[in-house]
Amino acid sequence: MAGYITRRLLRGVLTMLGVAVFVFGLLLLSGDPALIMSSPDATPDQVAQLRATLGLDRPIITQLGLYLGHVLRGDLGQSLRFNRPVAGLILQRLPDTIELTLAGIVIAIVIAVPAGIVASVRRGALLDRLVMAGALAGQAIPVFWLGLILIRVFAIDLAILPVYGQGGPAHLVLPACTLATIVMGRLARLVRATMLDVLEQDYMRTARAEGLREWRVLVVHGLRNAAMPIVTLLGLQLAQLLGGAVVTERVFAWPGVGSLVVEAVFNRDFPVVQGVTLVIAGIFVAVNLLVDMSYALLDPRVRQ
Amino acid sequence: MTDRDAMSRRTMLLGGAALAGAALPSGQRAAAAGRAEAITVALPGNLETLDPHQFRSILTGSVLACAVETLLTRDVATMELKPSLATAWRNLDPLTWEFTLRQGVKFHNGEVFDARSVKFSIERIIDSPLNTLGKTVWPPSFGQSVEIVDPYTVRIHTRLPDPLVPNRLAAESLNMAPPKALAEMKDKYVSNSLIGTGPYKFAEYTIGRQVVMQANPDYWGEQPATPKVVWAIIADPATRVAALQRGTTDVVVNLTYALIAGVKQSAGLAVYSVLGSIIQGILLNANQTPALHDLRVRQALNYAIDRDAIINNLFLGLGKAANGVVASQVEYAIDPGSYGYHPDKARALLAQAGFKDGLELTLWQSNDRYDLGVEAAQAIAGFFEDVGVHTNLQLLDWGQFNARAGRTQFKDALHYGFVNGVWDPDYVMQRVLPSYPTFRYYDAPEALQKDLQRYSSTFDKAERAKIAAASQQTLHDQACWVFLYQTNENFGMKQGVQGFRMRPDHMIVVRDAYVEV
């Protein structure tokens, strides 16, 4: 078990190192940042001065070494637009994105898992078709469109939820529901498919033969055995949700990392783009590590 | 459309009440006049910075201008120069200007505003290594220096004659900053505080959320109409309008054309639309593209475009055709006459120039700078095609586009819009001089170059008007650009909002704005 976790940890560290080098390389590929950041009226002297300030006049290998050294110390550089440390900007906004993402994933689980189970149990019936049609629609609807429609209905016509921003649980409802649709459809379909497989297993028949109640058969014996692919999907989807949060945060003016990075891209604020990419990659690696470790909990065979 | 003119009847009627309440603190004044305690204005993005000298965008300049002030200012409607932190100014000789400063003014941190503040601020803008906007408005090549005559008199010396010193000191980038508070920050950007002398004090800036300003009870002038201004940051244009429809914001900035009809149809909302002074045109690279070196080709391209069709069909009629390089509202601007829409003339001129069988051009446009900018470029390309100019439209994001545009890296043609930072034709006309360091697409004929150089050092107003008019006419006749249009800036607002104004130079002025309750 310890060897399994150590191997996974080492792989995670190597992945992060690769991401850091890749992120640094992206900056070089994007052209001369000093030129792009200067005003078109800037003189060559002013551009050269900016280049020196950013350290872009040093050899590339030196720049990479310095960059990695700073990253290891938690220094992600200084935002060119806000003149504030990037790490501080991200830390200030990451909790908001995590709050939104977790709320989205909880809503997705609460709706999609029971829907998937019901669809599998009622395979081929009207209910199954309705759930699958809903799942398909959920996967097909663009997030920004759904967000605007939800604002129209619940924030303007019914006026029961706020339009944008933060301020309490009510502010979380619309963006979290919007974000949840990214995962919901896929999750419901996966739950249905894995449950269909599990429902035909001998141990399910045995459980029923023991006289257990149907919900107990489905949840304790069925869902637990279907859990591994579902956990894997949720882990992978978390990264997609963080990506989806970029659009959702913009539509709902949610002040998270997503809206920070969109603005940074538009304004060529490279250190912020680099910093957010690193942090999101870090979260992705960490979640995958947790998913790997959860296999050991869910399946005793992995532990051996 | 419900154009809300700067002097609406209601505003005029309320003028007496506003005067009567002028002596009261802002909060009491608001309560007495039946106004909301706060006004919320939705912005499309974060402020670039809180540094009073480093920002680039007019929106950031407008927000900062609640708290920081310049020596001179401009009338909201007429753009006439007016006293602000300087009460009087005069030209002593071609190289010297003298400014008398307002007494009894304090910065928000308690520092006294005096001549040292002026010297510190101008040196920070011009002489420091900071990449300030002021260096664009007032290039350091003028050799500016500030002499303190007494605590409330300064003389500004320049190495080159500069008749536009008062204009430059009225630009929003020439803000006055407190020398003691910023003593350590002369060469560094300020990111977490904003100290000025203005009617509002900076209260809060949460990136991604909002900027809050509170009325300054010790302000030297009249108290602002509303005690608190909240600048809410809402990036998505449809969400901004939704917030307005719900009533959580009072004013929406950058109302896109697609959403104008929705605002007009919503009960209790109105559209405020003001002609902007960004002069838009297609810059022609006459220096590098041989075909565009030919005057007949440049004129043909001007004849080929139906500007009114674009304005009426794409921009909902909210704009006006431009005939020259200077926006119509700018001092000394003239109307040199329209090329009009004459595709036959265009074809004939192209044939005379040897392009009877057509001509191929690349037109560059930014895909995210102007609302409907890409659609406008497509329409223009269509008009060009119609007269036999095969147009290859290329799009780039604004960051790349702007960097390449200034450094003359586009061959053929590019769409560009120029603001006028000093409110004088000089600001744009200088760009056709071969000695100008950027935008080297077209060089003026030698006679015009001499006129433009003379214009830059002419102090006599009548003479300036004469040279400016002749130069604008020549540039029009020479078809240095394809002249396009000036479009309106559009805002959505509650009908109860009064006194919210955009100056013709695009500065948003909120000190007189309030919401009726």
Cα distances (angstroms) measured from residue A292 to each of A213, A219, A220, A285? 32, 22, 22, 11
Q: Are A204 and A198 in contact (CB under 8 A)?
A: yes
State the pLDDT at residue B17.
36
| 3-state DSSP of B387-409 | CCEEEEEEEECHHHHHHHHHCCC
Instruction: Tell me, yes or no, whether B307 and B373 share the same domain.
Output: yes
Instruction: Tell me, yes or no, whether B369 and B469 share the same domain.
Output: yes
**Computed from CA positions of residues B472, B478, B479, B480, in that sequence, does the dihedral angle turn out positive or negative?**
negative
Instruction: Tell me, yes or no, whether B155 and B132 share the same domain.
Output: yes
DSSP notation for chain A: -HHHHHHHHHHHHHHHHHHHHHHHHHHHHT--HHHHHS-TT--HHHHHHHHHHTTTTS-HHHHHHHHHHHHHTT---B-TTT-SBHHHHHHHHHHHHHHHHHHHHHHHHHHHHHHHHHHHHTTTSHHHHHHHHHHHHHHHS-HHHHHHHHIIIIIIIS--S-SSS-SSHHHHHHHHHHHHHHHHHHHHHHHHHHHHHHHTSHHHHHHHHTT--HHHIIIIIIIHHHHHHHHHHHHHHHHHHHHHHHHHHHHTT--SHHHHHHHHHHTT-HHHHHHHHHHHHHHHHHHHHHHHHHHHHH-HHHH-
CATH of the domain at B309: 3.10.105.10
Instruction: Tell me, yes or no, whether B411 and B401 share the same domain.
Output: yes
State the pLDDT at residue B25.
59
State the pLDDT at residue A288.
84
Closest residue of chain A to B405, computed from CA coordinates:
A40
- Chain B residues within an 8 Å CB radius of A159: 246
The complex's ipTM works out to 0.82
- Candidates A29, A46, A153, A259: best to mutate against B (most CBs of B within 10 A) is A259
pLDDT top residue among A267 and B504: B504
Measured distance CA(B495)–CA(B263) in Å, rounded = 11
Of B133, B242, B399, the CB nearest to A156: B242
State the pLDDT at residue B30.
59
State the pLDDT at residue B469.
98
Give tens-digit pLDDT for B30-63. Answer: 555 689 999 999 999 999 889 999 888 899 999 9
State the pLDDT at residue B471.
98
Instruction: Tell me, yes or no, whether B111 and B142 share the same domain.
Output: yes
> How many residue pairs from chains A and B have C-beta atoms closer than 8 A?
118
Give tens-digit pLDDT for A167-218. Answer: 889 999 999 999 999 889 989 999 999 888 888 888 888 888 887 787 778 8
Instruction: Tell me, yes or no, whether B312 and B372 share the same domain.
Output: yes
Instruction: Tell me, yes or no, whether B347 and B215 share the same domain.
Output: no
Residues 6+ apart with CB under 8 A from A166: A96, A254, A255, B209
Summarize the confidence of residues B317-336 as an average pLDDT: 97
State the pLDDT at residue A215.
79
Domain end, chosen from B192, B216, B241, is at B192
- Chain A residues within an 8 Å CB radius of B243: 163-164
State the pLDDT at residue B27.
57
For residue B273, tell me if it sits in a domain: no
Q: What single letter denotes the amino acid at residue B355?
A: F
Instruction: Tell me, yes or no, whether B301 and B234 share the same domain.
Output: no
For residue B56, tell me if it sits in a domain: yes
Q: What single letter denotes the amino acid at residue A161?
A: L
Q: Are B505 and B515 in contact (CB under 8 A)?
A: no
Q: What are phi and psi of B501, to 5 degrees?
A: -135, 150
Q: What are phi and psi of B278, to 5 degrees?
A: -75, 120
Closest CA to A177 of A205, A143, A207, A210: A143
**Shortest Cα–Cα distance, B88 to chain A (Å):** 31
Check A40 against B438: CB less than 8 A apart: yes
Give tens-digit pLDDT for B72-89. Answer: 999 999 999 999 999 999
Check A38 against B403: CB less than 8 A apart: yes
Measured distance CA(B379)–CA(B387) in Å, rounded = 13
For residue B274, tell me if it sits in a domain: no
Measured distance CA(B466)–CA(B455) in Å, rounded = 9
Helix (H, G, I), strand (E, B) or coil at B507: coil
Domain end, chosen from B141, B160, B192, is at B192
Domain tally, chain B: 4
CATH of the domain at B105: 3.90.76.10
**Vertex A236 angle, CA A230 and A239, to 5°:** 140
Instruction: Tell me, yes or no, whether B182 and B232 share the same domain.
Output: no
Cα distances (angstroms) measured from residue B27 to each of A135, B81, B268? 54, 30, 25
For residue B188, tell me if it sits in a domain: yes
Measured distance CA(A99)–CA(A280) in Å, rounded = 15
Task: Identify the band that residue B4 occupies on the pLDDT scale cut at 50, 70 and 90.
Answer: very low
Measured distance CA(B169)–CA(B422) in Å, rounded = 9
Contacting B with CB below 8 Å, chain A residues are 31, 35-36, 38-43, 46, 49-50, 81-84, 89, 92-93, 144, 148, 151-152, 155-156, 159, 162-166, 250-253, 255-256, 259-260, 262-263, 266-268
- Chain B residues within an 8 Å CB radius of A245: none
For residue B284, tell me if it sits in a domain: yes
DSSP structure class, residue B111: P
Q: Are A112 and A191 in contact (CB under 8 A)?
A: yes
For residue B185, tell me if it sits in a domain: yes
Q: Are B361 and B297 in contact (CB under 8 A)?
A: no
- Neighbouring C-beta atoms of residue A168, cutoff 10 Å: 8
Range of the domain at B16: 1-32
State the pLDDT at residue A1.
67
| pTM for this predicted structure | 0.88
Domain end, chosen from B143, B177, B192, is at B192
What is the helix (H) or strand (E) element at residue B491, kind and residue range? strand B481-494
Residue B493 β-bridge partners? B251, B270
Measured distance CA(B117)–CA(B16) in Å, rounded = 36
Give tens-digit pLDDT for A120-138. Answer: 988 889 999 999 999 999 8
Residue B20 pLDDT greater than 50, yes or no? no
Instruction: Tell me, yes or no, whether B434 and B315 share the same domain.
Output: yes
Instruction: Tell me, yes or no, whether B150 and B238 share the same domain.
Output: no
Measured distance CA(B193)–CA(B184) in Å, rounded = 13
State the pLDDT at residue B131.
79
- Neighbouring C-beta atoms of residue A123, cutoff 10 Å: 12
Measured distance CA(B449)–CA(B455) in Å, rounded = 10
Q: What single letter denotes the amino acid at residue A238?
A: L
For residue B505, tell me if it sits in a domain: yes
Instruction: Tell me, yes or no, whether B84 and B115 share the same domain.
Output: yes
For residue B303, tell me if it sits in a domain: yes
Give tens-digit pLDDT for A239-296. Answer: 777 766 888 999 999 988 988 888 888 877 888 999 998 998 888 888 888 888 877 7
CATH of the domain at B502: 3.40.190.10
